[in-house]
């Protein structure tokens, strides 16, 4: 176990070095969510009725999920480049713990997306985001964002392992980025027509957004929090198992 931790730490340092040398990946990841937040708050916000006085506070949870969904595409690209560049085969031939290769990419995704989330929250505060949430509520929000990041990152790992082109490695992220638009992230689901409302109410992003919104607003957290945890936990378990099996087949 200590050998696996040591190998993961070394490979994590390697991945973080790449990010330090190419900070544009984090900047690029943050640009689109920030642009959406500015657009919806200052252009569309006055015409959207959400039942709240502060639209940026209502909008922020969905913007954070879009940022994470955008960021994990780079995880798939980094893993794809390792596979195509021969580093993947070299790692598998070395006396290192095999799971450490994947976990290094997963932890790198957590760090990179954590930086992006911090940038967006800082900008939201400048734009008027306010919350009276206490420490426990913030920890719950952080835990839910980490769980969501882990779940979608393992999906990215699968894409990075099986993709034949860079476009294929990143293409899986587009549906994940699009999901918040058909949820309660931008408008209440009650305003949507029947079939769209049903889909929005039963997809995972709505539960995650509602749970984070309730925690920020200091409202009682209903079933949304537990539904969000079940969604993220289920996706995490399934995706990690599939990714591990694909990795073992590729490693021989």
CA distance 244 to 214: 35
Between 50 and 71, where is the model more confident? 71
Residue 4 has pLDDT above 70, yes or no: no
Rounded average pLDDT over 226-234: 94
Q: What is the distance between the alpha carbons of residues 124 and 122, in angstroms, rounded to a whole number?
A: 5
pLDDT confidence bin for 44, thresholds 50/70/90: confident
DSSP-derived secondary structure letter, 245? H
User: Is the per-residue pLDDT at 88 higher than 70?
Assistant: no
pLDDT score at 10: 73
pLDDT over 60 at 70, yes or no: yes
SS3 string, the chain, reads CHHHHHHHHHHHHHHHHHHHHCCHHHHHHHHHHHHHHHHHHHHHHHHCCCCCCCHHHHHHHHHHHHHHHHHHHHHHHHHHHHHHCCHHHHHHHCCCCHHHHHHHHHHHHHHHHHHHHHHHHHHHHHHCCCCCCCHHHHHHHHHHHHHHHHHHHHHHHHHHHHCCCHHHHHHCHHHHHHHHHHCCCCCCHHHCCHHHHHHHHHCHHHHHHHHHHHHHHCCCCCHHHHHHHHHHHHHHHHHHHHHHHHHHHHHC
pLDDT band at 94 (very low <50, low <70, confident <90, very high): low
pLDDT in tens, 113-171: 998 999 999 999 999 898 888 899 999 999 999 999 999 999 999 998 888 888 888 88
Q: Would the CA dihedral through 55, 61, 65, 71 be positive or negative?
A: positive
Q: pTM for the whole thing? A: 0.89
The single residue listed with the structure tokens 């800082």 is 122
Work out the number of other CB atoms within 10 angstroms of the CB of residue 121: 14
**Res 18 pLDDT > 90:** no
Mean pLDDT of 92-105: 73
Higher per-residue confidence, 82 vs 252:
82
- Is pLDDT larger for residue 142 or for residue 2? 142
Nearest residue to 196 (alpha-carbon basis) of 211, 213, 179: 179
């Amino acid at each position: 176990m200590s050998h696996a931790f040591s190998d993961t730490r070394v490979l994590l340092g390697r991945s973080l070095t790449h990010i330090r040398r190419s900070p544009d990946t984090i900047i690029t990841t943050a640009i689109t969510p920030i642009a959406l937040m500015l657009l919806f708050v200052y252009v569309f916000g006055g015409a959207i009725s959400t039942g709240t006085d502060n639209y940026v506070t209502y909008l922020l949870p969905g913007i954070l999920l879009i940022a994470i969904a955008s960021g994990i595409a780079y995880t798939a690209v980094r893993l794809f480049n390792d596979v195509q560049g021969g580093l993947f085969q070299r790692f598998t031939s070395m006396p290192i713990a095999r799971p450490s290769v994947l976990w290094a990419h997963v932890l790198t995704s957590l760090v990179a997306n954590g930086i992006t989330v911090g940038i967006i929250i800082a900008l939201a505060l400048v734009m008027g985001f306010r919350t009276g949430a206490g420490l426990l509520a913030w920890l719950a929000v952080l835990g839910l964002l980490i769980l969501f990041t882990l779940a979608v990152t393992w999906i990215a790992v699968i894409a990075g392992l099986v993709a034949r082109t860079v476009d294929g490695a990143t293409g899986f992220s587009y549906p994940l980025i699009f999901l918040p638009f058909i949820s309660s992230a931008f408008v209440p689901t009650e305003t949507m027509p029947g079939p769209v409302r049903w889909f929005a109410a039963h997809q995972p992003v709505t539960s995650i957004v509602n749970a984070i919104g309730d925690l920020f607003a200091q409202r009682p957290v209903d079933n949304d929090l537990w539904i969000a945890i079940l969604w993220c936990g289920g996706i995490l378990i399934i995706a990690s198992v599939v990714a591990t099996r694909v990795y073992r087949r590729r490693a021989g």
